[in-house]
């Protein structure tokens, strides 16, 4: 991927979770570009494992951002992968202390936090890039390049959908740490689909959103919808576990999925025997709970519609608990259209063809899609961050904080609309501070 020959950018990991470690992994593949020199992590075992993995000296391993910022600046940048509700309180001191920041999405858990971070970044003069990695996937990058080149004319409509698989829905938004807005402070739409709202705003070309409407609810995963005979824990008291598609043992042991969430420090190489895993799921591991008897309160499906100030429209459908996970896209312009599914690794470009016996001409564009849920965008994001810090021109996919704002304008308005039952007129709300970013 890289031919960079300058001195490596140095970075501190803030929050040694799964996403931070994926981004920091760029240093292992491209040590001449990025070097990890410190870690901030309150969990001592996770802190130790991160030190061992990246060869971090003990004096550069800290329990808090406060501790990091009490000493002279340790690195060029920070990779902040803390939980959603900690983004503001951890990023503000990093900016004040002179760190550029690669910040996991979402920017903040509400409009106020997002604006405060934007203001702080501008005052500090530091670079803040948001981890909207899908912009960097070859699929969406190629779509953006075709649109920017005028291949389909002016955009009329964008239709996007994210189908969240039944096992991803269960581990993250029913049993897991994003299952309650009260606990994690983010709605499911903003936690899971701020990627997709960002893509819509990006593909639309920085056009201002003016109206947003949304509908959605927690329809399926409630106690009254539990199958007859269902217990409270899959491996403790459930006689129908063997035939249940949400069986914890099937997902997390037999299929070996989502270990980075279910098993402590799995993403840092910690291991457990099969017997230990079974015992954990039987006892107090939250991922062993029946999906119909959890403390979840976030939606399991939601639809969003958007109008832009040039009269173009867009829609996003988030559908939880689908059989196949996928992201779909259909962009219609005044001269043609683009349609595809991220996971298929290609999209088609169509144009009207009115000659006798024809209807449309179609070109298939194949892209290199890595075998991950973000279509190969993770490390390309880090590469762009590193090169931006070195003064190079950002790529067409750049996710600078200012260039990422419109997706959040849409997302916060969508949640307001869903909860109030009313369309949100953004012109009436006058969010000038948001709009001045573009």
Which is higher by pLDDT, 436 or 301? 301
Residue 217, domain member (yes or no): yes
**From 5-14, 92-101, 208-217, 327-336, the region with the lowest mean pLDDT:** 5-14
266 and 405 fall within a common domain: no
pLDDT tens-digit readout, 374-414: 667 899 999 999 999 999 999 999 999 999 999 999 999 99
Q: Which domain holds residue 412?
A: 135-221+297-373+400-435
> Whose CA is closest to 105, among 190, 40, 206?
190
Residue 388, domain member (yes or no): no
114 and 150 fall within a common domain: no
Residue 230, domain member (yes or no): yes
The percentage of the chain sitting over the pLDDT mark of 90, rounded to a whole number, equals 87
pLDDT given for residue 372 in this prediction: 56
208 and 238 fall within a common domain: no
pLDDT given for residue 206 in this prediction: 86
pLDDT given for residue 31 in this prediction: 96
Question: What's 175's domain CATH number?
Answer: 3.30.360.10
49 and 145 fall within a common domain: no
Exposure string (b/e) for 328-340, b if CB count within 10 Å is 16 or more? bbebbbeebbbbb
Residue 45, domain member (yes or no): yes
How far is 203 from 318, CA to CA, in rounded Å? 18
pLDDT tens-digit readout, 412-423: 999 999 999 999
202 and 101 fall within a common domain: no
Average pLDDT of the residues of the chain: 93
pLDDT tens-digit readout, 72-114: 999 999 999 999 999 999 999 999 999 999 999 999 999 899 9
415 and 322 fall within a common domain: yes
Residue 421, domain member (yes or no): yes
242 and 217 fall within a common domain: no
- Please name every residue paired with 333 in a beta bridge, in sequence order, or none if there are none: 155
Indicate whether 347 pLDDT > 70. Answer: yes
pLDDT given for residue 428 in this prediction: 59
Question: What's 40's domain CATH number?
Answer: 3.40.50.720
Indicate whether 287 pLDDT > 90. Answer: yes
91 and 46 fall within a common domain: yes
Strand order in the sheet with 337-341: 360-366, 346-352, 337-341, 326-333, 155-165, 313-322, 301-308, 209-217, 424-425
Indicate whether 373 pLDDT > 70. Answer: no
Describe the chain by its helix, strand, coil percentages, rounded to 5.
40, 20, 40
pLDDT given for residue 155 in this prediction: 98
Residue 245, domain member (yes or no): yes
pLDDT given for residue 16 in this prediction: 94
- Please say which residue of 244, 269, 288 terminates a domain: 288
- Please name every residue paired with 289 in a beta bridge, in sequence order, or none if there are none: 233
pLDDT given for residue 438 in this prediction: 38
Residue 264, domain member (yes or no): yes
Backbone φ and ψ of 211, nearest 5°: -140, 140
Number of structural domains (the chain) is: 3
247 and 217 fall within a common domain: no
- Please say which residue of 82, 115, 130 terminates a domain: 130
pTM of the full structure: 0.92
Indicate whether 214 pLDDT > 60. Answer: yes
Indicate whether 240 pLDDT > 90. Answer: yes
Instruction: Specify the 3-state DSSP secondary structure of 12.
Output: strand
Q: Which residues contact 391 (CB under 8 A, 6 or more apart)?
A: none
pLDDT tens-digit readout, 112-133: 999 999 999 999 999 999 999 9
Q: Which residues contact 131 (CB under 8 A, 6 or more apart)?
A: 19, 23, 102, 103, 104, 105, 381, 399
Indicate whether 47 pLDDT > 50. Answer: yes
- Please say which residue of 88, 114, 130 terminates a domain: 130
pLDDT given for residue 374 in this prediction: 63
Instruction: Please state the length of the chain.
Output: 438
265 and 324 fall within a common domain: no
231 and 216 fall within a common domain: no
The percentage of the chain sitting over the pLDDT mark of 70, rounded to a whole number, equals 95
CB 381 within 8 A of CB 133: yes
Residue 394, domain member (yes or no): no
340 and 229 fall within a common domain: no
């Amino acid at each position: 991927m890289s031919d960079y020959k300058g001195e490596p950018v140095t970075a501190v990991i803030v929050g040694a979770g799964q996403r931070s470690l994926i981004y920091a992994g760029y240093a292992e593949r491209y040590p001449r570009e990025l070097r990890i020199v410190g870690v901030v992590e309150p969990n001592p075992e996770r802190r130790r494992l991160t030190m061992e993995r990246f060869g971090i000296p003990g004096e550069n391993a800290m329990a808090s951002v406060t501790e990091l910022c009490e000493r002279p600046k340790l690195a060029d940048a920070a990779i902040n992968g803390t939980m959603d509700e900690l983004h503001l309180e951890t990023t503000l001191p990093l900016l004040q202390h002179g760190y550029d920041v690669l910040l996991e999405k979402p920017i903040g858990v509400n409009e106020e936090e997002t604006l405060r971070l934007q203001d702080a970044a501008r005052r500090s003069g530091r670079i803040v890039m948001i981890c909207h990695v899908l912009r960097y996937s070859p699929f969406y990058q190629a779509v953006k390049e075709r649109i920017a080149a005028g291949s389909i004319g002016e955009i009329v409509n964008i239709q996007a959908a994210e189908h969240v698989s039944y096992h991803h829905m269960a581990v993250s938004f029913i049993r897991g740490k994003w299952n309650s807005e009260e606990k994690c402070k983010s709605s499911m739409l903003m936690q899971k689909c701020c990627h997709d709202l960002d893509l819509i705003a990006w593909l639309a070309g920085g056009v201002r959103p003016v109206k947003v409407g949304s509908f959605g609810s927690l329809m399926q995963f409630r106690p009254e919808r539990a199958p007859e005979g269902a217990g409270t824990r899959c491996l403790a008291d459930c006689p129908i576990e063997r035939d249940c598609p949400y069986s914890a043992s099937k997902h997390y042991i037999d299929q070996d999925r989502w270990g980075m969430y279910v098993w402590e420090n799995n993403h840092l190489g910690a291991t457990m025997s099969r017997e230990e895993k079974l015992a954990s799921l039987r006892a107090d591991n939250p991922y062993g709970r029946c999906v119909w008897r959890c403390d979840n309160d976030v939606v399991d499906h939601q639809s969003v519609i958007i109008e832009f100030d040039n009269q173009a429209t867009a829609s996003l459908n988030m559908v939880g608990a689908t059989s196949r996970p996928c992201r779909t896209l259909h962009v219609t312009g005044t001269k043609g259209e683009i349609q595809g599914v991220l996971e298929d690794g290609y999209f088609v470009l169509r144009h009207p063809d009115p000659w006798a016996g024809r209807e449309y001409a179609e070109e298939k564009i194949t892209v290199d899609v890595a075998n991950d849920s973000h279509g190969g965008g993770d490390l390309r994001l880090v590469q762009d961050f590193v090169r931006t810090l070195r003064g190079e021109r950002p790529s067409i996919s750049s996710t600078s904080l200012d260039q990422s704002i419109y997706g959040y304008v849409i997302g916060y308005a969508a949640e307001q609309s869903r909860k109030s039952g009313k369309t949100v007129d953004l012109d009436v709300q006058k969010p000038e501070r948001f709009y001045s970013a573009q």
